[in-house]
Amino acid sequence: MTASSSLFFCSVHMNVLSPKTSKCPKTFVCYHSKISYMEPKGNKFQLDDVLDAQQFDRDILNAIFEVARDMENIERNSPDSQILKGYLMATLFYEPSTRTRLSFESAMRRLGGEVLTTENAREFSSAAKGETLEDTIRTVEGYSDLIVLRHFESGAARRAAAIASVPIVNAGDGPGQHPSQALLDVYTIEREIGKLDGIKVGLVGDLANGRTVRSLAYLLAKYKDVKIYFVSPDVVKMKDDIKDYLTSKGVDWKESSDLVEVASECDVVYQTRIQKERFGERLDLYEKARGKYIVNQNILKVMQRHAVVMHPLPRLDEITVDVDADPRAAYFRQAKYGLYIRMALLKLLLVGW
């Protein structure tokens, strides 16, 4: 079992909503404490950190999506919003991810907040000299009101949150989690299809390595009457842990090798990139896998009028460029929904509901 899978189970089995466990006071070291990221507050929730997709239940997702809708209005109509005026966000990126970084930084600025940027914290002189992540966090929290952390090690965000007195947002920790991506995927489906209960979703491409599709499958299980199709080359099939989890939750799922049939039935065709870097020297396997399931005009032809094509981006040729012009191509809108989700998260973490 990979690190990713085992982490996943660990998180799934963990009780993530243990209200009122307050965060560690700053003068205390509490590496092994259980963190709660949400406490009830009136009839709302207090969001303390954003660490993994598993921390969100259906009510919280709905509440966040409501705020995201407000953010759409703000971004369009209030270019001069001052909701986060006076707040300072640090983007501490131990590996470059310009897309994610720009999305968070844009979200912060669209709400009137300010940003401190580190594009390559791995070469951070201190990290290079052997400083621990914990020490770095303790320094950077003194300079900022919130830290968006991208790290190459699974669990890094959780370690940071254990020590930090400011909110931590996990913007991807190695093979681990990337919760804002998971949220934006679900939000995109709701915005594009208009509902989450009763939807049919085809997950296509690299289902073994993509944390995106794994998290999405996990979150979809929170909704009713969902049907999931897995369409992938044999070498990168969805792993058993997720299948077992879906089964345990009563989600109807099915493996298929017929993308045309799946596309004709689904509300959402979620395409992903076959990740070359996972194949090592076996480029022959990679080449075989990448060409197998392509979303093109033939797929569009069978898709329903209301259905959409999603993709976490970047795409190579697993969606042909001539699909872009079709109104059902939702992947660039999906990137934009990511901005609204991040605006919502930043607002909730810094000023609450």
Cβ contacts of 223 within 8 Å, gap of 6 or more: 58, 196, 197, 198, 199
Distance CA 121, CA 136 (A): 10
- Angle, CA of 134, 140 and 143, to the nearest 5°: 155
Cα torsion 147, 46, 183, 11: sign: positive
* CA-to-CA separations, 98 to 34, 104, 106, 160, 256, in angstroms, rounded: 32, 10, 12, 21, 35
Q: Does 90 bind a copy of itself (CB under 8 A)?
A: yes
Which residue's CB is nearer to a copy of itself, number 95 or number 265? 95
Query: Least separation, in Å, of the C-beta of 290 and a copy of itself?
Result: 11
Please confirm, yes or no, whether 150 is among the known catalytic residues: yes
The residue among 150, 145, 141 whose CA lies nearest residue 118 is 150
Q: Does 126 bind a copy of itself (CB under 8 A)?
A: yes
Please confirm, yes or no, whether 306 is among the known catalytic residues: no
Which residue's CB is nearer to a copy of itself, number 200 or number 290? 290
- Helix locations, 228-330, DSSP H: 240-248, 259-265, 283-290, 297-302
Q: Which of 86, 194, 250, 352 binds a copy of itself (CB under 8 A)?
A: 86
Please confirm, yes or no, whether 129 is among the known catalytic residues: yes
The residue among 270, 266, 76 whose CA lies nearest residue 184 is 270
Q: Which of 12, 17, 67, 116 binds a copy of itself (CB under 8 A)?
A: 116
Site for a copy of itself in 183-242 (CB under 8 A): none
Q: Does 97 bind a copy of itself (CB under 8 A)?
A: yes
Query: Interhelix angle for 331-350 vs 179-193, to 10°?
Result: 120
Q: Is the peptide bond before 314 cis (omega within 30 degrees of 0)?
A: yes
Contacting range for a copy of itself; rule: CB under 8 A; set: 56-64, 122-130, 175-183, 201-209:
122-130
Residue 268: φ, ψ to 5°: -130, 125
| Residue 248 CB burial class (10 angstroms; 0-12, 13-18, ≥19) | exposed
Q: Which of 80, 281, 284, 305 binds a copy of itself (CB under 8 A)?
A: 80
Exactly one of 101, 178, 200, 292 is catalytic; which is it?
A: 178
Q: Which of 4, 144, 170, 272 binds a copy of itself (CB under 8 A)?
A: 144
Query: Least separation, in Å, of the C-beta of 263 and a copy of itself?
Result: 20
Q: Which of 67, 69, 70, 109 binds a copy of itself (CB under 8 A)?
A: 109
Q: Which of 99, 254, 282, 306 binds a copy of itself (CB under 8 A)?
A: 99
Q: Does 180 bind a copy of itself (CB under 8 A)?
A: no
Which residue's CB is nearer to a copy of itself, number 54 or number 100? 100
Distance CA 251, CA 203 (A): 14
Query: Least separation, in Å, of the C-beta of 9 and a copy of itself?
Result: 28
Q: Does 332 bind a copy of itself (CB under 8 A)?
A: yes
Please confirm, yes or no, whether 178 is among the known catalytic residues: yes
Please confirm, yes or no, whether 100 is among the known catalytic residues: yes
Residue type, 261: E
- What is the gyration radius of the CA atoms in the chain, in angstroms? 20
Residues annotated catalytic, as ranges: 99-100, 129, 150, 178
Site of interaction with a copy of itself (CB under 8 A): 27-29, 79-80, 85-88, 90, 95-99, 102-103, 105-106, 109-110, 114, 116-121, 123-126, 129-132, 134-136, 138-140, 142-145, 273, 313-316, 321-322, 324-325, 327, 332, 335-336, 339
